[in-house]
Each structure stands twice: as C-alpha cells, then as structure tokens.
Structure 1
Amino acid sequence: FLGVLLGGVGVAYAIVHLLPVELLINVNTGHGLAMVFSLLAAAITWNLGTWYFGIPASSSHTLIGSILGVGLANALINGIPLADGVNWQKAIDIGASLVFSPLAGFIVAGLVLIGLKWWRPQSKMHKTPDQRRKLDDKKHPPFWNRLVLVISAMAVSFVHGSNDGQKGIGLIMLVLIGIVPSQFVLDLTSTTYQIERTRDATLHLSQFYQRNSSTLGEYLAMGKAEKGDLPSSSACNPKQTEPTIDALLDRLKGVSDYHALPSESRIEVRRYLLCLDDTARKVGKLPDLGAREKSDLEKLRKDLTATTEYAPFWVILAVALALGIGTMVGWKRVVLTIGEKIGKQGMTYAQGMSAQITTACAIGLANVFSLPVSTTHILSSGVAGTMVANKSGLQGGTVRTILLAWVLTLPATVALSAALFWLASKALS
C-alpha cells in the first residue's frame, strides 16, 4: 500500500511509452479506447487464468505482452512497418530487465545463503520450521531471524507495491485520458512555475536545435517547414518540429493555469508536447550528436513532460487499495507454490531471508532506474537459488510449470491483445 503511494510514476510511464506515440496522441479517440480496453482485457484474462491454477505468472510480462500486441496489431492494420509499431528501444530495455532480474535473483540469493552458512554454520536459522518444532519444541523462529524475516518481507511488499502498482497507475491514466480527455490530458493542478518550466523547456529545445542546426538541420527540415505545418491527430513528424514549437509557445503564452485553456487546446498542447518529446528521443539516438548534447536533451525532455506524466492522488490511492486488497484475498495460491512446491525439502529461515533480501534489493534497484520487473519471478528464482545452494533439490514439475508460464506469457498475451484489438477495430470501421 505505502509502496504505491510513495513510488512515483516513473515505471508507470516507462510502460505507457512502449506504445508508439501515434497511439498515445490518439488515446481519446474510438481507436485509442479500443487499444486500451483490448490490452486490459488480455492482461486481466491471462492473470486470472494463471492465478486460478496457482501458477506464479508475471503481471509485468502479461502487461508488456498485451501492450506489444496492440502496438503490432495497429501497425498491421494501418500498413505501418512493424519496426515503427512499438517503441522497440524501450521494449528492449524493459525486456532485458525482465529476463536478467530473475537470473540475478537466482544467483545472488544462492550466494547470500552460502555466505550465511559460512558465517554461522551451526546457527538455528538453518533449520526449517518443522525441524525447530521437533528438535527445540518451539513454534516460532529465533527472535533475530524472525525480525529479519518480517522486515525483509515488509521491504518486498513495499518495493513490489512501488513497482507493480505503477503499472496499474499507467493503465488507469490511459483509460481516463481516453474517456475524459479534457480533464486528464494535462495536469490541471500544475502551478504557474510548472507551466513556465514547460514553456521554458520548449524555448530551450528550440535554441538547442538552432545551436546544432549543422547536425540536425536536414533531419528536422529546419527553415523549410511551413508555419501551419503541424502534427496531425494521427501522427508525429520530426520535420514539423519548428512549427510545432511555435504553436506550443503560442498556446502557452500568458497561461498560468491550465484551467484557462479550452478543452480542445489542452488536447492540442498534449499532442504537441508528446510529439516534441518523441522527436527529442529520436534526435538523442543520432550518432552525430555528442554525449553532452544528448545529456542536455534528456534534461529538456524531463521538463517537457513534467505536466503530462502525472497521476492524481486519488488514482494512486485507488491502485494502492486494489493491490492491497487483491493481495489479501488472492495470496494463498501463489504463496503456497513459491513457499512449499519449488524445493523438495522445506525452506529454512536462512533461505527465506536470503530470497526476500535479494528480491527487495533487486526491485528497489529497478525502481531507481524506472524499470518494470517481475516480483513473482525474482522471488521464485531467489527461492530456487537457495534450494540449489542448500542442495535441497528442486521439484521438477513445479519448476517446469513456472518456466512454461514464463515462456508462454509474452506470446500468449501478444496474440490475445492483438486479436481483441483487431476485432475491436473491425467493429469500429
């Protein structure tokens, strides 16, 4: 609960920006709403199915697969190259974090357990709860072990909320922008300073492009674009950058409160900001641009999106409550699988501590870099790593089921969301 409230929105918009900017600027249309509800339906269907069968599948893999599915389907439907159907650079970054974090969890948790066994080989923390009951006639773990288990479990819960909760926040914001665009395309609570910051970032972006015109002039068609040549409601074009900057500065001139902007102007401002941010992202990848210029560009991008990448407090609170209540209601199936069905023998207190500490650190690190990761896979991999390090053995059936869910989740949700989006698009056309 607290993890969601205090986690920010970095991961939320990392997920959202998997979608191509053309879909994001159209989210308030029928086509955009079909996209949002298709990916939601696919993600919910797969998550409920795996939960029902007690399979610890990853909601992160599920959500990312659903987003990739609608992005690819949109590209096929509209004749767009598949390379442009999804923000592939963002997808690769997120995919790498999802693949390598469980491997890191497996290795690090095993090493932590080996370290604990080397440090205190005769400690009671290396007993299972059953062994402690039989040998010591005590129900609870030793005090210090119990304290570490409780604190590390709280840490896992906190970082899990801050990472997984943000995914829900990002989706809800897409839905709200689609249904009530005038109220949510921009942060209407933005202060005069925040609006000035956005306006200044736009002006500085123009100056940045002018300074680097010898490198970027051709790519941005500097000095060639017509004044009224603005991004349409369906696409962004780097060659329209100069008129887009002029139009945005004109829209924000004298504005100190977004409430003063008419509804249509708010939608236009968001479209201009998203297109400028997308162009800046592409410019940052050009090989001729120096490292310092790329760093300056990243700072400008953060200021540009300061009033579009946000979430109202009530959305964050709703997601925190949903995640907390959902965990309290549905925890048992997955917990039993992770706690009792991965290893052939019971888990010792030291194994529990090793897996939980590793998971909390891994997810906390991912949060720092705004990368979505799978709590389920890191924790289950951590438990498996401690079982191997402890020479307890693994239950082949459970491990195969988890690996199968891991491998199948992405293609299954890609196919499901793509099919739903295709059907919805046909119904709307």
Structure 2
Amino acid sequence: MISIVIFLMIIGLGALYVAMHLTSDLEAVGETSFFPFLLLGVALLIALGFEFVNGFHDTANAVATVIYTNSLSPHLAVVWSGSWNFLGVLVSSGAVAFGILQLLPVELILQVGTNAGFAMVYALLIAAILWNLGTWYFGLPSSSSHTLVGSIIGVGLMNQTISGPSGTSGVDWVQTAGVGKALLLSPLVGFLLSALLFIVLKLTVRAPRLYKEPKANTPPPFWIRALLILTCTGVSFAHGSNDGQKGMGLIMLVLIGVVPTAYALNKAVTPAETETFVAVARQASAALARYTNGIEAPGDSHRDVETYVRTRQLTATTVPALQRLTDAIGDEVSRYGSIAMVPQDLVDNVRNHMYVASEAIRLIEKAKAPAFSSADAAAIDNFRKQMDHATKFIPTWVKVAVAIALGLGTMVGWKRIVITVGEKIGKQHLTYSQGASAETVAMLTIGMADVYGLPVSTTHVLASGVAGTMAASGSGLKWDTVRNLVLAWVLTLPASIALSAGLYWLFRHLF
C-alpha cells in the first residue's frame, strides 16, 4: 500500500511539472483564440490515452513472470514495473520517435497544422487505441508497435487515394520495410534465443526447483526471485525507452501543428550552438556546390527538394536546389543570431526548410547518389545532425507526460495478459527458469532495438520467448492459444490499416 501511495505521489508531482511547463510555453505564444487550445487538449488526451492503453496492454508482459511465480505481489509488481517504465521514458533518446514519424507522408508532416494534419493524428491514434483495447479484452498479447505502424500505413494509403496519383508521397515503403523487418524478426529472435538460453540454463544450473511450476502463494528461493525481479526491471525499462517514444513523436506532431511558434524549433539551442550551426551550414553548402555540375538552382528550391523527398527521384536540379536551400537556412538563422530569436511568423517556415533538407540529405546518403567524397560527406552529414538537433527534439515535460500515462496504464488491466503468458501458451504452467529466460532475451532485444532506433514489440518478443522455452522443455504448446496469438499478429496490420484509413477519410470530411 505504501509503495502505491509513493508511486501516486511521484505521478502527481510529474503531472504538476507537466502543467507548469505547458502553461509557461503556451503563455509565450500569445494566442488569443480558444479553438487551437481545444484542439491541442483533445489531441494530447488521445495521444496520452494511446500510451495509457499501451501501459496496461504491453507492460503486462513485463510483470507476467514475477506475478505468476509469486516473486512479487501483483500490486508491488505493477508499481515496480511502472516506475521503471517511467525512468525508461525519461532517459530515451528520441530516435525511435522520429523513426516512426518518417513513415508518414512528408506533406502531412510539413503541414501538420492543416485540416489534413489533424485528421491524420486523430485517425492513427484512435485506430491504434481501438485495436489495442479489442485485443486486450480477449486477453491476446497483441503489439502496440505493430498497431501504430499499421495505422500510419492506413493514413498514408488513404491520403494518396484522396489526393490522386500526383502531389502526395503516400506511404514510404522503403522505411516501412525496414520497420517491418524489425517487427517480423523480433518474435523469431525471441523464440530462438529464449529456447537456447533455457537449454543452456538447464545444462549448467542443477537446481530442480528452478524447472518446476511455482507453488501457490509461495515465493521462489531468494536467488531465483532476485533474477526474476531483475529481468522484470530490465524489460520494463527497455519497454519505456522504446514504446514510450512512439507517443512522444505523435505528441510533438500535435504541438508543432497547433502551436508551431513554441515547438517548431528547439528554443534550447544556445547562441554558441547557433554560431556553430551557421558555420556548419556554410561548410555543407560549399561541399554541395562541388556536385551541382554548374547547373543553376530552380527558383523554388524548397519545392524541388521536397519533390525529391517525396518521389526519391534525383534530378539534375536536386543538388543545386539543396545547396541553395542550405544557404537560405544558414542565412535565416544567422540573421537573427539565435534559433530562439527567429520571429514567430517565420518559425514554421524555417522548420519546414530544415526538415526537408535533413530528409533529402538522409535519402542521398542512403542511396549514395551522388557519391560524395569522405570529407564532403562528413560536412554534409554534420549539417543534417545540426538541423535534427534544431527540429527533432522532445521537451522534458513531454517525456514526463508520456511516462505518467505509461506508469498509470501499467497499474491496471494486467491480469488478462498475465494468465495468458503464464498458463495458456504452454501445456504446462510457466516455470521460474522459463520466465527468466524469456524476459532476459526480451530485455536485451528491446534494449538493442532502442540503440538502433527500431520499434519492436515487447508483446511479441516476450510471448514468443515463452513459447520458445516451452518448446525447448518438451512440454509442448497449446496450439489454440498459439493460433490466436499468430492470428492477432497477422490481423493487426490489415485491421489497423483499415481502421485508420476509414477514420482518416471520415475526419478529412469532418474537418
């Protein structure tokens, strides 16, 4: 009971911190109309609602083994897991957040404050929440990551259908394929490595009780208990640092769309860093100039570069346009002495210039066309990183808000998933060694994915890990449960695509 009170006090202090900083940021905007703030409030509630559902849907997997093996009481387990989810969110890098956003059509990201932008945010969030709630109700460990990716694809496809064959980028299939591989391979990694670790454990650790079903209301020996609590901690922390970022990226889209003057550019960039930014822009421009082949840049360089980002088709004017856009960005920032001093009516425009230039450089580097020399490539990539620092940032209060939503979500709704993981995957009940093996692999897999900015499914990695240990032990699998898990995994993409596409179409007409 004391642990719950302490956790709720931390949540309360976090909520106060969020409210104070959000209020301070909005006061500086000077917006007089109430409607933008209403849109902001609704969008933030939906985004945080997604993370809340994610908390009791995905994080239940982290506490399943410690609850089922009586290592921790249910109330203490969810508070412990919620706390480590909270910390994982706070220290996350943001790489996963912006990796997810790269799946969206570029024109919707650049015009997120338009009717289409709001329809996009609402559609993909509500679709993800609806599917997560449905699979949770039936006790199926479905993936929030999988659901969100499907929702983004649905929005992209419907946006392309509405706009016609020209003028829209639709779905970024190259980026989607990269994310899809991570989501596809992570359950296989979980299954195989968990099975292997279980076999190694059985060969090296001769402790019969480790391989037996937990006794009712009886905690395991101290060292087994410590191991299970450690793996639960690791999975919870890794889940917070990976899954929490998806909500952060969407919240930043909302903030940029509704109050761009406060959030389109990183006001925390210091004057000294701004001087470095301008110098790096000049170096990048000089490097790009060596690859223009003497071709004059078009009049609307931004549109030319945006077309390249949208179509991936390099033309003779792409590099000259990128070079001129780089000069324009450096001039704009230099003129005002600091990124924080860019006038409010220009902030959104400067941010869009930086975003498009950064994406163009990323795609050119990936395609290796044109082939830059090592020195020029370093100068150009340094400029991309400087622009990302100025545009792809997450305020601390956003991390705290997402951490609160995840932490609170962890405290409810865990029982259905725990029973599925503990009793319904294998023909025998989960043993201590199986729980420890599956969670160790899940902790390491999710942690590595976070390092490389890849979204993976906590649910799929852990559930498949438990299945792997059941197969390795020879106890066998309950194929009806496995069939349901695979069915949820297979249906998640098409269902979330259809849901978000339909909602996007509806919201486009409503807005």
- When normalised by structure 1's length, the TM-score is 0.91
- The farther-off stretch of 290-299 and 138-147 is 290-299
1:148 Cα deviation (Å)? Answer: 0.7
Secondary structure at 1:129 match in 2? coil
1:118-157 correspondence runs (5 A): 118-130=203-215, 139-157=218-236
Secondary structure at 1:306 match in 2? helix
Deviations 1:16-59 (Å, cap 9, x if unpaired)? 11112221111111211111111111111111111122111100
2:129 corresponds in structure 1 to: 44
Equivalent of 1:92 in 177, 180, 199: 177
1:370 Cα deviation (Å)? Answer: 0.6
1:276 corresponds in structure 2 to: 357
Query: Cα RMSD over matched residues?
Result: 2.2
1:189 Cα deviation (Å)? Answer: 2.1
- Give the paired residue count: 414
- The farther-off stretch of 120-129 and 367-376 is 120-129
Deviations 1:265-300 (Å, cap 9, x if unpaired)? 110111100111122123221455168465664443
Q: Does 1:401 align with 2:484?
A: yes
1:188 corresponds in structure 2 to: 267
Deviations 1:204-237 (Å, cap 9, x if unpaired)? 32122123335xx7xxxx42423xx243599545
Percent sequence identity over matched residues? 45
2:496 corresponds in structure 1 to: 413
Q: Does 1:179 align with 2:258?
A: yes
User: AA paired with 1:29?
Assistant: T
Equivalent of 1:321 in 391, 404, 411: 404
Residue pair 2:101, 2:249 contacting (<8 A) in 1 also: yes
1:231 corresponds in structure 2 to: 302
Residue pair 1:20, 1:85 contacting (<8 A) in 2 also: yes
Q: Does 1:372 align with 2:372?
A: no
Relative distance call for 1:125 and 1:231 in structure 2 (3 A) is same
1:163-174 correspondence runs (5 A): 163-174=242-253
Cα distance in 2 between the residues matched to 1:83 and 1:92: 19
Secondary structure at 1:107 match in 2? helix
Relative distance call for 1:190 and 1:236 in structure 2 (3 A) is farther
User: AA paired with 1:188?
Assistant: K
1:260 corresponds in structure 2 to: 341
Relative distance call for 1:157 and 1:145 in structure 2 (3 A) is same
1:403 Cα deviation (Å)? Answer: 0.6
Gap regions ≥5 residues in structure 1: none
User: AA paired with 1:348?
Assistant: T
Equivalent of 2:438 in 342, 352, 355: 355
Residue pair 1:236, 1:275 contacting (<8 A) in 2 also: no
Equivalent of 1:209 in 280, 285, 288: 288
Residue pair 1:21, 1:236 contacting (<8 A) in 2 also: no
Cα distance in 1 between the residues matched to 2:370 and 2:401: 46
1:83 Cα deviation (Å)? Answer: 9.6
Residue pair 2:298, 2:304 contacting (<8 A) in 1 also: no
Cα distance in 1 between the residues matched to 2:379 and 2:138: 49
1:302 Cα deviation (Å)? Answer: 1.8
Residue pair 1:25, 1:234 contacting (<8 A) in 2 also: no
Equivalent of 1:385 in 437, 459, 468: 468
- When normalised by structure 2's length, the TM-score is 0.77
User: AA paired with 2:469?
Assistant: T
Secondary structure at 1:177 match in 2? helix
- The farther-off stretch of 70-79 and 314-323 is 70-79
Residue pair 1:202, 1:304 contacting (<8 A) in 2 also: no
Gap regions ≥5 residues in structure 2: 1-85, 309-317
Relative distance call for 1:297 and 1:383 in structure 2 (3 A) is farther
Relative distance call for 1:25 and 1:408 in structure 2 (3 A) is same
Residue pair 1:340, 1:346 contacting (<8 A) in 2 also: yes
Cα distance in 2 between the residues matched to 1:327 and 1:299: 40
Equivalent of 1:115 in 200, 216, 220: 200
Cα distance in 2 between the residues matched to 1:203 and 1:153: 49
1:359 Cα deviation (Å)? Answer: 0.3
- The farther-off stretch of 280-289 and 372-381 is 280-289
- The farther-off stretch of 247-256 and 64-73 is 247-256
Cα distance in 2 between the residues matched to 1:260 and 1:22: 26
1:27-66 correspondence runs (5 A): 27-66=112-151
Relative distance call for 1:82 and 1:183 in structure 2 (3 A) is closer
User: AA paired with 1:345?
Assistant: Q
Relative distance call for 1:140 and 1:224 in structure 2 (3 A) is closer
2:50 corresponds in structure 1 to: none
1:69 corresponds in structure 2 to: 154
User: AA paired with 1:144?
Assistant: W
1:397 Cα deviation (Å)? Answer: 1.4
Cα distance in 1 between the residues matched to 2:377 and 2:173: 19
Deviations 1:389-411 (Å, cap 9, x if unpaired)? 00111111111111111011111
Cα distance in 2 between the residues matched to 1:339 and 1:201: 55
- The farther-off stretch of 373-382 and 69-78 is 69-78
Relative distance call for 1:290 and 1:426 in structure 2 (3 A) is same
Secondary structure at 2:391 match in 1? coil
Residue pair 1:248, 1:272 contacting (<8 A) in 2 also: yes
Secondary structure at 2:413 match in 1? helix
